[in-house]
Chain A
Amino acid sequence: MSHNLSEFVACSALTLPEALARLAESSDPERGPWRPLAGGTDVMVTMAAGTLPVGRYVDIWPLAELRGITVTDDSVEIGALTTYTELRAHPVITAEFPLLSLAARETGAIAIQNRGTIGGNIANASPAADTPPGLLAYDAELELASLSGTRVVPYARFHSKYKQMDRRPDELITKVRLRREPSPSPGQPIHYYRKVGTRAAQAISKVCFAGFARIDGQKLLTVRIGLGSVAPIPLRCVRTEAALLSGPLDEALIRRAEATLSYEIMPIDDVRSNLRYRRTVTLNLLREFLTRCQGR
């Protein structure tokens, strides 16, 4: 129950410079720094539950600069305010980065998909978020802007600890950048996505697995695995990936990868599931992904 609605402060920014200027203002001793409010699909839930700390929110929804998906020859740039609905429908995303459109498709209800944004999904920093595993599997980069300029951060290094990330309070995530694979690229591409929740839709995941690989015969040329809900952060499984690149993809390698992954993840018991289930399912999904890589 929210007892303190009138203590919240909110304002709208109409341009990116205006939003960045707000974020650059010094922190209020009682209400903290300004925090960006995009689609609000996480903020409003915690507000209704009474668990949102009193604070100052700058609504960035009107910022045209943060909208749209730009495709060039070698990259796709997704504006931070791009909604799940837009991700689901975009032809280049669905063709070349299907893990993202699949994730968007399985996020929340239609109303949430119309409102929730990829930037918000990242900045909310939930380990159970749906798009981060796919972003990790595609080795995405983030562009952050502030009054002092812009910088680019590899997404795999963005989240540090639970709900902590490489973003200063004065910075706004403006873009997500994906590298397009040159055509032709060696090997066969495999995109594997599976979200395991309590039900088929409108459920936060118990385990979310996104894997991308290129395989040439028995040999994995590239493999990247992003996991949700099995660690304090969206987890890029670099050690498991390294193990998988160490030899031909046979049963022995799969076992080694399973062993590595079981130490790389850090699942917990919570309201949605338990540690044991998450570990078992993660390893089962790894095997399913690798079996698919083997073409079986």
Chain B
Amino acid sequence: MKNRPLHIIGKARRRVDARAKVTGETRYADDLNFPRMLHCRLLRSPLPHAKIVSIDARRALALPGVHLVLTGADMPTTFGILPVSQDEHALCLDKVRFVGDPVAAVVAQTELLAEEALALIDVEYEPLQTISAPEEALSHPEPRIHDYGDSGNVHKAVALSFGSVEQGFAEADHVFEDTFHYAGNTHLPLETHAAVAALDPDGKLTLWSSTQTPHYVHRAVAKVLGQKPSRVRVISTPQGGGFGGKTDPFGHEIVICKAAMMLGRPVKICLSREEVFYCHRGRHPVLMKLRCGVKQDGTLTALHLQTLLDGGAYGSYGVASTFYTGALATVTYHLPNYQFEGCRVFTNKPPCGPKRGHGTVQPRFGQEVQLDKIADKLALDPAELRLRIVAQPGSLTANYLRVQSIGLADCIRSVVRRSDFSNKHRKLPYGKGVGIACSSYLSGAGMPIYYNDMPHSGVQLKLDRSGLVTAFCGVAEVGQGCDDVLCACVAEVLGVEVADVKVVTGDSDLSPVDLGSYSSRVTMMMGNAAIAAAERAREIVATAVADKLGVAADQLVFAQGRVFDAAAPEKGLSFREAVVLAEAAAGTIGTTGSYKPEKPAALFKGGGVGPSPAYSYTAAVVEVSVDPETGWLGIDKVFIAHDIGRALNPTLARGQVEGSVYMGLGEALMEEQAFRRLPPKLSSALVHRTPSILEYKSLTSLEMPEVDIELLEDPDPNGPFGGKEVGQGPLLPIMPAIANAIFDAVGVRIDEVPITPEKILKALAQKAAGKPGRIGPKDFPSVSYPAPLFVPTPWQGGDGRATNEVARPKDKRAKNV
């Protein structure tokens, strides 16, 4: 397929599902209605940490129209997204761990009735001490929120050392030490979580759910309900956004399955916005310390990164999140020596998990702001400094990540040129500023979540005499456009229009497994699987046509709905005629393709987090205005360049960049998953401060600046048609670029996210009083990290193993996300 001219890939197109979305015909989970359907609502804990003494549902059950009340005892089997963190119950069994933890479920005739019945369930609790913050979790091993984890309320503590940071610091001309805090925030998809469960006439269970990971939900439902997986069908409905918030299996999905099985009637649940704040799985609050050694010319000699993650009440993806806070520091800039220590603790708050940029966003903020400080100290242009230290393409990093293409230098040059950065930086009037930052992100996790040797994505094609090509794949369309990419990849290889390809996605009964819409993996993995399946189909068709036309099969061109002789284009058939020939010659046509990433080069424990078939790169320049009267921060313009390898559909790719910028601005300026104590007369419980969109603010169109985008295309050898990810990476540089621009504008450092007017005014007041104009954490707490695994770097002759690691069985390898 190399060197074939492309007809569909790379051309800006309207996505295949656009019309249905624009006309409102797309059927989201909450749009599904069935005869005799009942409705479910959940009773949630009013206490942050307590034992459940008793639950009495008699009054609720007595209410006419209430069909069922479920409690934890009805589904005692645990589940969780990671095999190492099976710590959730569909409904709390013996204790509650945060305000909002689901305790009981009512299934009733109407949603309103179910809601009213919740008030009739009597739950007796025995309160336990609340662990409200990471420092508290470290200092209070008791009471334990979970009876598993590394120790006390420490869920996971890890330490990895690549090369020798001590030697690196010794070689440095300057050593910078900075602490940063990145507050938690949530995904805020427009669509709240919704699901419907029903039995088919043979008693087989079907679950429709707004999930990004139908395959993992399938496993969790089967496990908790004790069903054979073949007797469970999970369908991922089109979603109004997920951003990582719908990548865990959730208790409410299991609850309605159980209810549908018990009642023999369809059951629906649609969470309220408040409940989505409790489901959360959003950005971990991370406190971090970076010690960085630098030569006078800007060369980095060593980085020692320490992170402390506030995990909330459950494991979720937390073990992976912890590793991710340290995994990608090496892919952006060349780091000869690197040490990473990470720790995730449990607290009595809604569980944190993966949000766009999973775990890499927080340290990226720290590293990019620190680089700005370094450039300032060394009197280097911050763009020039970054150009000097960009990681090398086709290399193995200190932590054994295999990096192919790196377009970062071109990205930096692009944003510097377009924004006229050099003529603005440190040269604009007071109150105006520019800042630059960069990032990289993985195009799909190299390892599956549960260890196995099977493909990460599979595509099946059916071709028949109608000329229609049907593509089956288990991917979840969360709004990112995977259905469109699937159509485009197949149509490109077979030379047909996208309208001639029909996709059947996200249905465990019909489509082969794809692991899910997370880790920016879908285009990479589904795309490669689709190309493989389409190439096989093309071969079958080409063989039959070659026979008929008397032309060598490799002489045939598939384009514009025809199959023809490259040497004599008029000699050929329509694609439909070609399929008729092939079906007659070879029988019914079905092909498959699958994709599995190369095995990671890292062989040490924890090395499974970070490897990816390809890494995308981004650079951004942000222009800001700071109003010294109110601290108001205006974003004037964003220039962004993204190394995408190849944009399969530039319309979608640009949408992802704009969406990432939008989300990044929200995180930078105002979004925060914050908590408060209720007044003592109301229980003093630790509650979400603003569980509504009324007060949890994100950007409106009035704050959204113009976004000047350039997509840089240097095809990656591993990507489908050379493509790399675009869904997450472009978010990462936004927050640090803003922090750096504020320093340029008014000379204060805000080493925290979100950057609110309150913080800016306070920093300005401190500066005016002759104190440091900085807002940020003052110190980093003492964390008992384990002794590090020592891994010699490739340039030290290392082989990817740790020198001090005891041998471990193969199936205990760290799981990736």
Contact = CB atoms under 8 A, between A and B. Distances in A.
Given A4-B116, A5-B112, A272-B695, A196 B632 contact: yes
A274 B765 CA distance: 15
- Which among B697, B703, B762 has the highest number of chain A CB atoms within 10 Å? B697
- Which among A1, A49, A271, A272 has the highest number of chain B CB atoms within 10 Å? A1
A201 B704 CA distance: 12
A1 B700 contact: no
A31 interface: no
Contacts of A201: 700, 702
Interface string B700-715: 1011000000000000
Interface in B231-287: 272, 274
Contacts of A207: 630
B631 A5 contact: no
Interface string A201-223: 11110010000000000000000
Contact of B697 (A5, A203, A285): A203
B629 A281 contact: yes
Interface string B680-702: 00000000011010110101101
- Which among A3, A272, A276, A287 has the highest number of chain B CB atoms within 10 Å? A3
Interface residues of B, number: 31
Interface residues of A, number: 29
Interface string A39-51: 0000001000100
A94 interface: no
A207 B630 CA distance: 10
B55 to A, nearest CB: 17
B692 A3 contact: no
B112 A200 contact: no
Given A5-B116, A198-B670, A277-B761, A271 B629 contact: no
Q: Looking at chain B's contact residues, is the secondary structure mostly helix, strand, loop, or mixed? A: loop
B758 A274 contact: yes
Contacts of B669: 199
A39 B722 CA distance: 56
B700 A276 contact: no
A2 interface: yes
B119 interface: yes
B427 interface: no
A280 B765 contact: yes
A255 B703 CA distance: 34
Contacts of B676: 271
B76 interface: no
Contacts of B762: 276-277
B630 A196 contact: yes
B757 interface: yes
B735 interface: no
Given A198-B670, A203-B697, A280-B765, A6 B112 contact: yes
B116 A271 contact: no
Interface string A3-24: 1111000000000000000000
Contact of B703 (A200, A271, A272, A285): A200
A285 B119 contact: no
B700 A3 contact: no
B703 A199 contact: yes
A25 interface: no
B118 interface: yes
Given A3-B119, A277-B762, 11 more contacts: A1-B115, A1-B118, A3-B115, A4-B116, A5-B115, A5-B116, A196-B630, A199-B670, A199-B699, A273-B758, A281-B630
9 contacts: A1-B44, A1-B272, A49-B692, A271-B689, A271-B690, A281-B631, A284-B630, A285-B629, A287-B629
- Give the 6 A-B CB pairs with smallest separation, nearest first: A3-B119, A200-B702, A284-B629, A277-B758, A198-B697, A201-B702
Interface of A: 1-6, 45, 49, 196, 198-204, 207, 271-274, 276-277, 280-281, 284-285, 287-288
